Chain A
Amino acid sequence: MNIRPVAMCLLLAAALSAWADDAPIGYVKTLTGTASITTGKNKVTAQLGTPLFQGSTLKTGAKSSMGVTFKDDTVMSFGSDTELTVDEYLYAPSQGKLKLGSSMAKGSMNYVSGVIAKLQPDAVSVKTPTGTIGVRGTQFVVKVDEPAK
């Protein structure tokens, strides 16, 4: 065993970044109360440092909040009873691949756009039940009330 842990970590990190679709696209940074991250069939309770992936659904419970930061510096934070899915996330500026498409089913969110919106403003959107928000690079807040039954 002459490979140092550092070197192994670096190799692992390099290997992970090669599988773009499997690599984390962001991490949980702030949390109060309870929240979850569901990716495919895998549901985990959110903690500081929990990774997000393309396709992840982020949910907060009652009296809870959560903040996440993405690889391109997009920062989203959610109030109680919020549900948002990251439908599409592409961040490869050197290859011109840029996209951040999300859908918000309910709740409240503070959104600070990142590099993707800066480089390609029409690539960033948030779908909601009554309309789509086109993010042209700035901070905004949005509240989505579930449609009346």
Chain B
Amino acid sequence: MKMRDTPSAVWPALLAVAVLAGCATTAPKDTSYAVLLKSPDGSVGKVVLRGNQGEQLLSQERQGALLNGSQAPTLVDEATLQRDFGEAMAARPELPEHFTLYFESGGTQLTQESANQLRGIVERAGKRASMDVSVIGHSDTVGKSDINEALALKRAQSVAELLRSKGIKLDSLSVESHGKRNLLVPTPDETPEPRNRRVEVSIR
């Protein structure tokens, strides 16, 4: 069965099958449904529909099913997708972008490579109509927690200031420190690890 015709033609048919399957009630016609799409990264994930008439799993691209769970999934064609979801799909914001900047040990000095990367971030950010930026600072595990917490915050603040000084206009800028609580590379305490001395910049 394909959901490609007008809803008035298709949904009664779906309901009829539901009646035959013995799981439909006298409830009014129910047309709400969901369709799994390929993710922007090219993967296809999963969606579970837990309805008042059953449970369905969507696990293939363009598989759709009623939200009430009464129907096994069927493939939904492009025309139906465009008709029902064209507006919502067209309104999808540009996806967030992430950058990681690294620091010399013990301070807020960016590595040369990361300092060179700033210009690219500013350029990418400048292309967005509405932008918010989060800057999260991290440290490695050398030193006490509170000192690392403060150091990671200083790193984040220095990056935020650099971004502003390069002319990024921000609707919103959030600056946070995760100290040594969120290691990129897990290490024991008191381990110098350049990859953990970092600031993550997210442009949304």
Nearest-CB distance from B189 to chain A (Å)? 16
B45-82 near A? 1/0 per residue, CB < 8 Å = 11111111000001000000011110000000000010
Which of B36-44, B105-113, B191-199 lies at the interface? Answer: B36-44
**Does A135 touch B at the CB level, under 8 Å?**
yes
A52-85 near B? 1/0 per residue, CB < 8 Å = 0000000000000111110101010111101000
**Does B29 touch A at the CB level, under 8 Å?**
yes
* CB <8 Å contact, B93 and A68: yes
Partner of A49, one of B68, B130, B181: B130
Q: Count the B residues whose beta carbon is within 8 Å of the partner chain — how many?
A: 63
**Does B31 touch A at the CB level, under 8 Å?**
yes
Q: How large is the interface on A (under 10, 10 to 19, 20 to 34, 35 or more residues)?
A: 35 or more
* CB <8 Å contact, B48 and A134: yes
| A contact residues around B204 at 8 Å (CB) | 27, 29, 69, 71, 73
**Does B174 touch A at the CB level, under 8 Å?**
yes
* CB <8 Å contact, A141 and B89: yes
Residues of B at under 8 Å CB distance from A?
28-40, 43-52, 58, 66-69, 81, 84-96, 129-130, 132, 134, 153, 157, 160-161, 164-165, 171-176, 178, 181-182, 202, 204
What are the 6 tightest A-B residue pairs by CB atom distance, in nearest-first order? A138-B45, A131-B51, A79-B87, A29-B93, A148-B28, A134-B48
